[in-house]
Chain A
Amino acid sequence: MARVVVDVMLKPEILDPQGQAVQRALPRLGFEGVSDVRQGKRFELEVDGPVDDAALARIHELAESFLANTVIEDFTVKVEEEKAEAGK
């Protein structure tokens, strides 16, 4: 079993009302020094079997056709190391 992470973000030029709302809230809550916030989506896919090129290609395809709206969003696919620790 391996975990593949797909991160989906609005393209840089696309307006992100949610990110803006977060950014505006920060100073009100006393958190200074953040000039911009962009909000995205993270998908964690548990994959059966080895994550080889064929599996990644399939995940790339499903991300492109279903997880991301590529008209307005970019996405990245990355394999998470099994030994990665939880937290920091």
Chain B
Amino acid sequence: MSRTPLDTVEHATATPDVELPWAELGLKKDEYERIVEILGRRPTGAELAMYSVMWSEHCSYKSSKVHLRQFGEKAPESDALLVGIGENAGVVDVGHGYAVTFKVESHNHPSYVEPYQGAATGVGGIVRDIIAMGARPVAVVDPLRFGAADHPDTKRVLPGVVAGIGGYGNCLGLPNIGGEVVFDSCYQGNPLVNAGAIGVMRHEDIHLAKASGAGNKVILYGARTGGDGIGGASILASETFDDAKPSKRPAVQVGDPFQEKLLIECTLEAFQEKLVVGIQDLGAAGLSCATSELASNGSGGMRVTLDDVPLRDSTLSPEEILMSESQERMCAVVEPEKVDRFLEICEKWDVIATVIGEVTDGDRLEIYWHGGKIVDVDPRTVAHDGPVYERPYARPSWQDELQADDANKLPRPETSEELKDQVLKLVASPNQASKSWITSQYDHFVQGNTVLAQPEDSGMIRVDEESGLGVAIATDGNGRYAKLDPYTGAQLALAEAYRNVATTGAKPLAVSDCLNFGSPEDPAVMWQFAEAVRGLADACRQLGTPVTGGNVSLYNQTGETAIHPTPVVAVLGVIDDVARRTPVAFQEEGQLLYLLGDTREEFGGSAWSQVIHDHLGGLPPQVDLERERLLAEILISASRDGMIDSAHDLSDGGLIQAVVESALLGGKGARLVVPDGLDAFTFLLSESAGRAVVAVPRSEEVRFNDMCGARGLPATRIGVVDGDSVEVQGEFQLSLEELRKAHEETIPALLA
């Protein structure tokens, strides 16, 4: 068995004409030429591996960067923001010396290939982002989107994804407190598996991803490195070695939640003893990403000996080690005199830890293998100076036609009987039906701090035992609205998440987003992306909630057909005392139901148009952000001062959907009266934004009305909590039993 010589820097300089498989690694010709120009020679195989993976769309945001800048440029002034975009996750001040970090990411493609492991490692990855900021993870949320509920492939993908999230999160001991499940045939070949996590720390515990101080040691700790997630690197490997290698490297990464749990405890203990100068988790692009980002964010260079990386598979080539996406690994920068203590802590937690290099006073990232220097680069060129594309974008020609196909003109129910049938059909439709079959597979209450979890409007966690200080998080997105108008659709996603947080009594503070779109090479998709980002950035500025970080997932498409543009927005809020929270469920008979906000005839993109007419056209509901802010203030004040006992935001499915959910959760019915100036159909099913329905105890009615009147928020009395049915006077009556059957049996029947 003979080996070609190791492709060192020296070797690369001596053999300038060797062709490297840059195209197979996903690089474009001009990108490769740029690498040659930066280095002043051809790259070595290892350098090419690093550049190709760090300059990929996923790591470099090369198509989205020019638009994402708006999140910084338009960011509102916020006293709460401690760490903004660019770090592993944003950090927000929630008072009493506590800070909260949170982020949403996508793991779409891996979850389609191998649903269980894809979704599980999605949870693992986002949790490590949280640890890397110095925080203890306290909860996860999972916004999920699948193809049609009755499609056979959905039955393959969904149970695997749900089991993977449950399996990993439950083993890790993290409560799953929120998220969404949406079905739409546009996600058939591209399910969206987004994962979010929240962590809590004290202000002084914030850690950043940077390697400073020459002589400091770089420690890799956690799982051994194996062949996980290596795509293109095997091409390089096959050129470096003759044979004796497994022929094909799988792209599937397998997670080990028990290893991750050890990693959490071990890292937090090292933080507590102040042993860590800088830290980075290993996710996409593995060591390539961790070393180049740590080095480029710090003050000096870095020297790494790749032979010291603990391997699971001794046949791995240096290129593969650099690109491996093996899970449950972290990289810390530690002062020399603290290394022993750091390793001791790792040993105690049964975590493998190895010094693989050190910070140098130069400005190069140098990597050695078998004594030869195989990487010698300026780390900034790898991590930050990737290509930036101003991709062409254009409003698609079909957009006008789509918007002209007005959903308000669809045939409406003509009789009360027909209206009743449509309502029943709506609450039983997969998107509106109860998701408890799915969410009950997740542990909601482990750790004992969960105050609210699905199906509440937002998940809520107690942060401080003494004061009752807590945080709430809601994630929302509506691809149908965004397809009709991406600018408005993105704002509606933010408005809904903002409203959901306020509905539970928490004050919205900051935003994280996961932007799921099709191929950026399609100008129509790029237009959708540009519009959505512009809309979201504008709305964040107006609502005073800065974007703290997030993730972009492109190329979600099958052939020429892209998914609906799907910006998913997470809003984090704070509540002074979680005992003051407002639940969705009706609490007491006799309480008065008030509809807050204005109801217009708005059916474009609505659940009604989808379920009854299988229609998507027209315009999404209007957005009025000042109204959203006012509504939120009223909901928060009312919750704090005990003026409302339950509240539910109105979104897809409209008022009737909200009332049915509150009734079923509380086991108490409602009698509704159609207010003057509205027809029953619009009252029940319109999806106008900026609305909520609240239950007001009779003793608080005057005070509540006075507050709404003084602040100028329309509040219409629409009925009373009463009985064991939902009755719309003069129209129809549906017993809770009948509604429960319709609402709760759909999902198990399709998927169990």
Contact = CB atoms under 8 A, between A and B. Distances in A.
Interface of A: 10-17, 20-21, 24, 69, 71-72
B16 interface: no
Contacts of A14: 228, 250, 252, 254
Contacts of A13: 226-228, 246, 249-250, 313
A20 B312 CA distance: 10
A72 B116 CA distance: 11
A15 B249 CA distance: 12
Given A72-B250, A72-B252, A15 B326 contact: yes
Contacts of A24: 350
Main SS class of interface, A: loop
Nearest to B254: A15
A72 B117 contact: yes
Contacts of B252: 14, 71-72
28 contacts: A11-B250, A12-B246, A12-B313, A13-B226, A13-B227, A13-B228, A13-B249, A13-B250, A14-B228, A14-B250, A14-B252, A15-B223, A15-B226, A15-B253, A15-B254, A15-B256, A15-B326, A15-B327, A16-B254, A17-B254, A17-B256, A17-B258, A17-B259, A20-B256, A71-B250, A72-B250, A72-B252, A72-B254
Contacts of B226: 13, 15
A16 B227 CA distance: 12
Contacts of B326: 15
B114 interface: yes
B118 to A, nearest CB: 10
B66 interface: no
Interface in B207-223: 223
B312 A15 contact: yes
Nearest to B113: A71
Contacts of B246: 12-13
Contacts of A21: 258
A13 B725 CA distance: 57
Nearest to B223: A15
B114 A72 contact: yes
A12 B223 CA distance: 16
Given A15-B256, A17-B259, A69-B114, 8 more contacts: A13-B228, A14-B228, A15-B327, A17-B254, A17-B256, A21-B258, A71-B252, A72-B250
Interface of B: 113-114, 117, 223, 226-228, 246, 249-250, 252-256, 258-259, 312-313, 326-327, 350
B362 to A, nearest CB: 35
The 5 closest A-B pairs by CB, nearest first: A13-B227, A17-B256, A15-B254, A71-B114, A72-B252
Secondary structure of the B contact surface, majority rule? loop
A14 B258 CA distance: 17
A17 to B, nearest CB: 4
A14 to B, nearest CB: 5
A63 to B, nearest CB: 17
Nearest to A12: B246
A71 B118 CA distance: 12
B269 to A, nearest CB: 21
Nearest to B228: A15
A80 B252 CA distance: 33
Nearest to B326: A15
Contacts of A17: 254, 256, 258-259
A86 B343 CA distance: 49
A36 B350 CA distance: 17
Nearest to B350: A24
Nearest to B118: A71
Contacts of A69: 114
A71 B109 CA distance: 14
Nearest to B251: A71
Contacts of A20: 256
A74 B80 CA distance: 52
A56 B485 CA distance: 55
B581 to A, nearest CB: 38
Nearest to A69: B114
A11 B252 CA distance: 11
Nearest to A14: B254
Contacts of B256: 15, 17, 20
Nearest to A15: B254
B286 to A, nearest CB: 14
Contacts of B114: 69, 71-72
A24 B256 CA distance: 15
Contacts of B350: 24
A69 B159 CA distance: 14
A24 B350 CA distance: 10
A72 B253 CA distance: 9
A77 B227 CA distance: 26
Contacts of A72: 114, 117, 250, 252, 254
Contacts of B327: 15
B700 to A, nearest CB: 54
A32 B227 CA distance: 27
A20 B258 CA distance: 12
A21 to B, nearest CB: 8
B407 to A, nearest CB: 41
A29 B114 CA distance: 35
A20 B259 CA distance: 11
B135 to A, nearest CB: 25
Contacts of B250: 11, 13-14, 71-72
A21 B262 CA distance: 13
B351 to A, nearest CB: 12
Nearest to A18: B256
A12 B252 CA distance: 12
A81 B114 CA distance: 36
Nearest to A13: B227
A25 to B, nearest CB: 12
B128 to A, nearest CB: 16
Nearest to B316: A13
A60 B350 CA distance: 41
Contacts of A10: 254
A75 to B, nearest CB: 15
A46 B593 CA distance: 64
Nearest to B320: A13
The residue among A10, A17, A24 with the most chain B CB atoms within 10 A of its own CB is A17
Contacts of B254: 10, 14-17, 72
A65 B326 CA distance: 27
Nearest to B328: A15
B726 to A, nearest CB: 44
A56 B123 CA distance: 40
